[in-house]
């Protein structure tokens, strides 16, 4: 077993040899996802993977029809488990509860509002033989209209992300990890929203585990439906980034003050030219993330702009 240092990171150890999983557990945290949950479950039912697998739905406090929708899919999915995680809200708490309840030796994480491709599980299973943590690509145009794509970056994710010029990481909504590694490292529940997948991917690597990309494990990603829900999402992303830096700055995560200056300059210069709904939404999203970084810097007592 690896141990944690004072910063919460897992100390490096030798990664075990791997083969193909004997059983995969698909973990889906959910809180009030009735609008799109059926499409995700239908996509899972259409998987080409021919090995044993199960679906572990984690109820993180649903008050809508989400769980009724899940129950209606019994018999159309190979196995279905509902985990009660209503006592504490939080995406990472739900992920950890799902990992604890899973019966597979390999865990595949996805979100309730996205749509997995038909070869998603099969591709993750193939990549699992050569790595401990695996990430797949994300297509971001099929489920989002033109205005939603104008508000935020919509270019596809075609490799492991490296947005912070430190270590690559897979998206939390499209990754697979061996169960022993997931339970050893664990999702950090202090991250309430945003950056948790980055922290998780980095800690997995610091623990000595291998990370790989599975090109065939495609997921269609769904954006937030309104500009104000997008602004709220990116404000929370911004708040979480100083927390990420506080943990990982000592390990080598850099700060890019030049990029921060260019972003604030763009906000100042472009504000008088916001004529279209798309450009206004983009400006608000960027401004919300910058404001979130200021708030997060104050909260975590570290400067990250």
Span 134-143, pLDDT tens digits: 999 999 999 9
287 lies in the same domain as 259 = yes
Q: DSSP character for 209?
A: -
Has residue 36 been placed in a domain?
Answer: yes
Has residue 11 been placed in a domain?
Answer: no
Assess contact for 164 and 198: CB atoms under 8 A. yes
Domain end residue (candidates: 175, 199, 220): 220
107 lies in the same domain as 179 = yes
- pTM for the complete prediction? 0.92
**Would you state the pLDDT for residue 258?**
94
281 lies in the same domain as 153 = no
Opening angle at CA 201, ends 197 and 206, nearest 5: 145
User: Which regions of the chain are under pLDDT 70?
Assistant: 1-15
Span 209-255, pLDDT tens digits: 999 999 999 999 999 999 999 999 999 999 999 999 999 999 999 99
What's the total number of domains in the chain? 2
CATH number of the domain encompassing residue 50: 3.90.550.10
**Would you state the pLDDT for residue 1?**
34
97 lies in the same domain as 232 = no
Has residue 18 been placed in a domain?
Answer: no
234 lies in the same domain as 214 = no
DSSP E strands, the chain = 24-30, 53-59, 80-84, 106-110, 115-116, 133-135, 138-139, 174-178, 211-213, 219-220
127 lies in the same domain as 259 = no
The CA distance from 46 to 78, in Å, is 11
Place of tokens 């948790």: 196
Tokens, residue 125: 């299973």
Domain extent for 251: 227-300
**Long-range contacts from 82-89, C-beta under 8 angstroms, 24+ separation:** 82/57, 83/56, 83/57, 83/58, 83/59, 84/59, 85/29, 85/58, 85/59, 85/60, 85/61, 86/59, 86/60, 86/61, 86/62, 89/31, 89/60, 89/61
295 lies in the same domain as 197 = no
């Amino acid at each position: 077993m690896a141990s944690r240092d004072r910063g919460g990171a897992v100390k490096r150890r030798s990664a075990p040899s791997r083969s193909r999983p004997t059983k995969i557990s698909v973990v889906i945290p959910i809180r009030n996802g009735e609008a799109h949950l059926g499409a995700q479950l239908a996509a899972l039912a259409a998987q080409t993977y021919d090995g044993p697998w199960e679906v572990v739905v984690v109820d993180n406090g649903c008050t809508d029809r989400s769980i009724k929708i899940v129950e209606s899919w019994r018999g159309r999915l190979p196995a279905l488990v509902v985990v009660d995680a209503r006592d504490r809200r939080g995406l990472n708490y739900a992920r950890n509860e799902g990992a604890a309840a899973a019966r597979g030796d390999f865990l595949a994480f996805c979100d309730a509002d996205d749509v997995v491709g038909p070869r998603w599980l099969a591709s993750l299973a193939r990549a699992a033989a050569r790595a401990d943590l695996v990430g797949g690509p994300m297509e971001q145009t099929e489920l989002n209209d033109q205005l939603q794509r104008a508000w935020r970056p919509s270019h596809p994710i075609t490799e492991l992300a490296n947005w912070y010029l430190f270590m690559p990481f897979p998206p939390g909504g499209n990754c697979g990890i061996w169960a022993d590694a997931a339970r050893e490292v664990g999702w950090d529940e202090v991250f309430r929203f945003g950056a948790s997948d980055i922290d998780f991917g980095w800690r997995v690597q610091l623990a000595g585990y291998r990370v790989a990309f599975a090109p065939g494990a495609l997921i269609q990603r769904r954006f937030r439906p309104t500009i104000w829900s997008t602004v709220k999402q990116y404000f929370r992303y911004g708040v979480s980034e100083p927390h990420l830096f506080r943990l990982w700055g000592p390990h080598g995560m850099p700060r890019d003050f030049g990029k921060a200056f260019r972003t604030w300059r763009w906000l100042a210069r472009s504000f008088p030219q916001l004529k279209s709904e798309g450009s206004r939404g983009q400006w608000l999203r960027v401004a919300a993330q910058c404001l979130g970084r200021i708030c997060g810097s104050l909260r975590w007592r570290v400067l990250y702009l």
